[in-house]
């Protein structure tokens, strides 16, 4: 009967969303391990911070309508690949690729899609590395592959993207032309800051290495 049918649909949706919650936890654990291990053994942590979210049913619905996606759980699973979204913010551009390599090397992770907006920034200046991964979630009676979207970017890229996102939404998606230009200029400034900080970091690392090797030759000097 109808009540029974409603209950079944409710259970299906609960199971569906739960799978994503577990997927996020698995990925969170993987990233925590990378972060802690890096800190312990390399004396340097490339990960500044990590933010994650599960898309709300409301945003899933909005995206389905926007992209004309069929109303079924299978179709949502296949077409909306950012239900689990993780953003990793790191110190320097080179760290982005180091982190991405460390993630992709793991045997249970499958790369589904990679968009490199660092090598090919968007016309507004947006930069980030986007990966869509599939990871297995093991439950009592089955294993499911869950899609997870990971965005990796530097602090400067993140600063720009967060503010651009706010401005964009404030203007209700039709920004005056001069503001579009200024935002793109701001993206260039963020990029210059990234390059400058990377240069400074390399210089300091070089000086430190020199000091260490001098010390090795003459421990008293």
Q: Compute the least distance from the CB of residue 3 to ligand 0O2, in Å.
A: 36
Q: Nearest Cα to 129, choosing from 94, 168, 163, 80?
A: 94
Contact present, 127 and 90 (Cβ < 8 Å): no
Beta strands in 117-192 (DSSP E): 129-138, 143-154
The SS3 call for residue 113 is strand
Question: In the window 190-219, what residues touch ligand 0O2 (CB under 6 A)?
Answer: none
- Alpha-carbon Rg for the chain, nearest whole angstrom, is 22
Residues in the interface with ligand 0O2 (CB under 6 A) total 10
Which of the stretches 14-22, 118-126, 173-181, 211-219 binds ligand 0O2 when contact is defined by CB under 6 A?
118-126
* Closer Cβ to ligand 0O2, 38 or 191, answer by number: 191
Among 26, 95, 164, 194, binds ligand 0O2 (CB under 6 A): 164
Among 86, 90, 161, 190, binds ligand 0O2 (CB under 6 A): 161
Question: In the window 51-90, what residues touch ligand 0O2 (CB under 6 A)?
Answer: 82, 85
Q: Does the annotation mark 149 as catalytic?
A: yes
Residue 158 in contact with ligand 0O2, rule: CB under 6 A: no
Cα-to-chain-centroid distance, residue 123: 20
55 contacts: CB under 8 Å, gap ≥ 6: 63, 80, 82, 83, 84, 85
* Closer Cβ to ligand 0O2, 7 or 49, answer by number: 49
Options 149, 177, 182, 209, the catalytic residue: 149
* Closer Cβ to ligand 0O2, 35 or 63, answer by number: 63
Among 86, 126, 154, 194, binds ligand 0O2 (CB under 6 A): 126
Which of the stretches 28-36, 44-52, 123-131, 139-147 binds ligand 0O2 when contact is defined by CB under 6 A?
123-131
Phi-psi map region of 217: left, alpha, beta (phi>0 left; psi -120 to 50 alpha): alpha
Among 28, 130, 145, 197, binds ligand 0O2 (CB under 6 A): 130
53 contacts: CB under 8 Å, gap ≥ 6: 85
Q: Nearest Cα to 82, choosing from 3, 172, 171, 149?
A: 149
Q: Compute the least distance from the CB of residue 220 to ligand 0O2, in Å.
A: 54
Contact present, 148 and 24 (Cβ < 8 Å): yes
Taken as a whole, the chain contains a residue count of: 221
Which residue ranges make up the site for ligand 0O2 (CB under 6 A)? 82, 85, 115, 122, 124, 126, 130, 161, 164-165
- The residues annotated with a catalytic role in the active site are 149
């Amino acid at each position: 009967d109808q009540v029974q049918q409603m209950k079944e649909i409710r259970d299906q949706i609960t199971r569906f969303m739960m799978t994503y919650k577990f997927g996020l936890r698995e990925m969170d654990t993987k990233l925590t391990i990378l972060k802690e291990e890096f800190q312990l053994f390399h004396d340097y942590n490339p990960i500044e911070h990590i933010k994650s979210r599960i898309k709300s049913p409301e945003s899933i619905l909005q995206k389905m309508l926007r992209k004309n996606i069929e109303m079924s759980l299978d179709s949502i699973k296949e077409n909306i690949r950012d239900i689990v979204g993780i953003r990793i913010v790191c110190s320097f551009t080179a760290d982005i690729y180091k982190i991405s390599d460390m993630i992709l090397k793991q045997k249970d992770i499958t790369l589904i899609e990679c968009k490199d907006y660092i090598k090919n920034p968007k016309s507004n200046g947006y930069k980030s590395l986007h990966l869509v991964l599939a990871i297995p979630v093991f439950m009592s009676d089955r294993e499911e592959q869950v899609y997870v979207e990971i965005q990796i970017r530097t602090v400067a890229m993140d600063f720009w993207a967060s503010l651009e996102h706010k401005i964009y939404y404030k203007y209700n998606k039709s920004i005056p032309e001069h503001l579009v230009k200024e935002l793109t200029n701001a993206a260039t400034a963020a990029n210059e800051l990234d390059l400058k900080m990377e240069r400074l970091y390399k210089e300091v690392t070089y000086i430190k290495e020199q000091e260490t090797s001098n010390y090795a030759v003459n421990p008293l000097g």
